[in-house]
């Protein structure tokens, strides 16, 4: 979509003011459900602060019309067999990998992250598309369950599409957390009403274009653009299930609005994720892993680590190794792989990072690496930062920073580390590093988090898409990924068939009398209560389930 142009210079580089071909932009804009009343909005490139694109905006009336179109398309899509719906996802997989250069450009230009971090999004979606493309039909198939009367009560659980799924996607991983939630809905037989974040709409529109090119029926995914209080709230009012990724504060508002309509929700909210380094680690290996866990995606990653707890037995060499590796990270911007860490996405994110660091330093924290705003590299570029001695009352100690800042603390034992990790209202993700996999797994089982990676930062758990990924406490509820995430976008129906009610007939003649619950329950209550009690006791002795 744009050439591989290297570092953008706002003084001399035309990409600083024009990064999309006009025809490309018009094609993407046509996919927005909008009307003249909504006006337009211009969003800006984080690398330069220059205008990136102006797109039409939606009104609540546009959202309602888009929801009706999605619902009409969904009725046809639900009739398509699950195996055929799954084939769409496999085509998405192939097209995404072949067109990755275009979307890598878009993700970087809208979000500001380094190219390697942008590629994580491509790989993540490809893994999920492959998994669901191969496994979704089995996940969605009717399930046999034990019946009330063994041999006579046949029970099946069926999974219907819920209808229209609302996806309110964030700006920090605009491809992963758009297609990552859209694809399961399509596999389940649902339509999608998608509202991407105003900072990263182009990536979402590109994703819808990809779906269409892969063979998605027209109208099945509707895109609306606009702010959260107006357009985002209207999405909640017109869907049958809502998937929301964002802050805890906004998640509470979204959940309350959805509850008024009794609409189920999947919420991935904030986190203050912790990483524990036990006393038996290889310090260099653990430090390398911690750098990836803390600063991937410029620290603007829901599951990145912001708190480091290090056993005092290895604290000094680990801190030195971590600081050295952090200072060695290449910070910069450009449509290539020359930078390890890119830019923050907005002035708001930069202000939050600066405030958290300055607040921690005023309380006595020390800078081991970073702590510097780099406007020479870009308006929102901030060096990866390691702090030690962050006080309990510092904002960086309790609040989510959502930037390239991590606070290191020393602990005297595994028990102290577990208590410190769990001392948070959040419970999204955690990481444990130990020289013993068994010890690491045992520690992980004690942590209050929706997912824990042992001897890895976050990719091991997040990339294992057959397993659910969700939060606890203030980090939300529900989960994406796995069978659990897919079935959350369906409505279950239990069908119980009672056999024997009309007896057994051969050649039109009854050879066995009617049997079953009707016969049992038609007699005197004293008789059938005694009979049922005897059966219940026998079932307990026989361990029937």
Instruction: Look up the pTM and report it.
Output: 0.93
Following CA atoms 257, 259, 262, 263 in sequence, which dihedral angle do they give, to the nearest 10 degrees?
Answer: 60
Residue with tokens 């969003």: 43
Number of helices followed by number of strands (H, E) in the chain: 19, 24
Higher pLDDT, 524 or 32: 32
Q: If pLDDT is split at 50, 70 and 90, which confidence band does 424 have?
A: very high
**Residue 10 confidence (pLDDT) above 80:** no
Q: If pLDDT is split at 50, 70 and 90, which confidence band does 1 have?
A: very low
**Residue 519 confidence (pLDDT) above 70:** no
Contact 431, 391 (CB under 8 A): no
* pLDDT at position 17: 42
Q: If pLDDT is split at 50, 70 and 90, which confidence band does 6 have?
A: very low
% residues pLDDT > 70 (the chain): 93
What average pLDDT does this structure show over 448-454?
98
* pLDDT at position 535: 86
* pLDDT at position 524: 85
Q: If pLDDT is split at 50, 70 and 90, which confidence band does 12 have?
A: very low
Per-residue pLDDT tens for 305-363? 999 999 999 999 999 999 999 999 999 999 999 999 999 999 999 999 999 999 999 99
Phi, psi of 542 (to 5 degrees): -85, -5
Per-residue pLDDT tens for 455-509? 999 999 999 999 999 999 999 999 999 999 999 999 999 999 998 777 656 666 6
Architecture per CATH, domain 274-471, reads as 3-Layer(aba) Sandwich (3.40)
* Catalytic-labelled residue, pool 121, 268, 306, 400: 268
Q: If pLDDT is split at 50, 70 and 90, which confidence band does 16 have?
A: very low
Phi, psi of 421 (to 5 degrees): -60, -40
What average pLDDT does this structure show over 49-70?
96
Give yes or no: 484 in active site. Answer: no
**Residue 18 confidence (pLDDT) above 50:** no
Give the residue among 89, 64, 96 at the shortest CA–CA distance from 188.
89
Q: What are the distances in angstroms from CA 284 to CA 289, 290, 434?
A: 9, 10, 12
Residue with tokens 């490809």: 126
The H or E element that residue 289 is part of is: helix 283-295
Q: CA 226, CA 263: separation in Å to the nearest integer? A: 22
Contact 191, 23 (CB under 8 A): no
* Cβ neighbours of residue 294 closer than 8 Å, sequence gap 6 or more: 275, 304, 305, 306, 308, 384, 386, 404, 406, 457
The H or E element that residue 223 is part of is: strand 221-223
The H or E element that residue 202 is part of is: helix 201-213
Fold of the domain built from segment(s) 24-142+150-270+484-491: Aldehyde Dehydrogenase; Chain A, domain 1 (3.40.605)
Residue-range domain boundaries for the chain? 24-142+150-270+484-491, 274-471
Q: CA 289, CA 283: separation in Å to the nearest integer? A: 10
Q: CA 239, CA 487: separation in Å to the nearest integer? A: 17
Q: CA 204, CA 202: separation in Å to the nearest integer? A: 5
Q: CA 420, CA 75: separation in Å to the nearest integer? A: 50
Structure token digits, residue 477: 């509820």
């Amino acid at each position: 979509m744009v050439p591989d142009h290297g570092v953008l210079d706002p003084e001399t580089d035309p990409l600083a003011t024009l990064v999309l071909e006009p025809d490309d932009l018009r094609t993407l804009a046509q996919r927005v459900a909008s009307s003249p009343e909504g006006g337009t909005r211009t969003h800006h490139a984080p690398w330069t602060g220059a205008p990136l694109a102006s797109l039409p905006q939606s009104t609540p009336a546009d959202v309602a019309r888009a929801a009706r179109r999605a619902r009409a398309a969904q009725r046809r899509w639900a009739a398509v067999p699950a195996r055929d719906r799954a084939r769409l996802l496999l085509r998405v997989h192939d097209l995404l990998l072949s067109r990755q250069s275009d979307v890598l450009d878009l993700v970087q230009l809208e979000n500001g992250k380094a190219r390697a971090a942008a590629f994580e999004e491509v790989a993540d979606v490809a893994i999920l598309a492959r998994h669901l493309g191969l496994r979704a039909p089995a996940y969605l198939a009717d399930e046999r369950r034990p019946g009330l009367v063994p041999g006579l009560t046949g029970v099946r659980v069926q999974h219907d599409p819920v209808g229209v799924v609302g996806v309110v996607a964030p700006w920090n991983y605009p491809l992963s957390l758009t297609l990552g939630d859209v694809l399961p809905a399509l596999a389940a037989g649902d339509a999608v009403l998608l509202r991407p974040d105003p900072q990263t709409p182009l990536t979402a529109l590109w994703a819808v274009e990809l779906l269409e090119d892969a063979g998605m029926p027209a109208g099945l995914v509707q895109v609306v653009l606009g702010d959260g209080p107006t357009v985002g709230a209207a999405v909640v009012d017109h869907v049958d299930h809502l998937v929301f990724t964002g802050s805890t504060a906004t998640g509470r508002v979204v959940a309350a609005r959805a509850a008024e309509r009794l609409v189920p929700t999947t919420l991935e909210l904030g986190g203050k994720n912790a990483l524990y380094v036990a006393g038996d680690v290889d310090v260099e290996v653990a430090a390398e892993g911690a750098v990836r866990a803390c600063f991937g995606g410029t620290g603007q990653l829901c599951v990145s680590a912001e708190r480091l707890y290090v056993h005092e037995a290895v604290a000094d060499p680990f801190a030195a190794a971590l600081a050295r590796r952090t200072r060695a990270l290449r910070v910069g911007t450009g449509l290539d792989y020359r930078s390890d860490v890119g830019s923050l996405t907005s002035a708001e994110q930069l202000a939050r990072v600066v405030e958290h660091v300055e607040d921690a330093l005023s309380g006595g924290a020390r800078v081991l690496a970073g702590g510097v705003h780099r406007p020479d590299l870009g308006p929102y570029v901030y060096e990866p930062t390691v702090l030690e001695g962050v006080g309990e009352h510092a904002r960086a100690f309790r609040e989510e920073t959502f930037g390239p800042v991590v606070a290191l603390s020393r602990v005297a034992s595994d028990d102290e580390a577990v208590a410190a990790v769990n001392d948070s209202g959040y419970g999204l993700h955690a990481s444990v590093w130990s020289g013993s996999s068994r010890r690491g797994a045992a520690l992980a089982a004690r942590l209050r988090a929706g997912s824990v990676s042992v001897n890895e930062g976050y990719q091991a758990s997040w990339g294992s898409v057959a397993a659910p990924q969700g939060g606890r406490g203030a980090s939300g509820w529900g989960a994406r990924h796995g069978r659990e995430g897919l079935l959350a976008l369906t409505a279950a129906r239990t069908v119980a068939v009672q056999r024997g009610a009309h007896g057994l007939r051969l050649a039109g003649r009854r050879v066995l009398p009617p049997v079953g619950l009707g016969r049992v329950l038609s007699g005197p209550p004293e008789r059938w209560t005694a009979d049922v009690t005897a059966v219940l006791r026998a079932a307990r002795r026989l361990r029937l389930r």
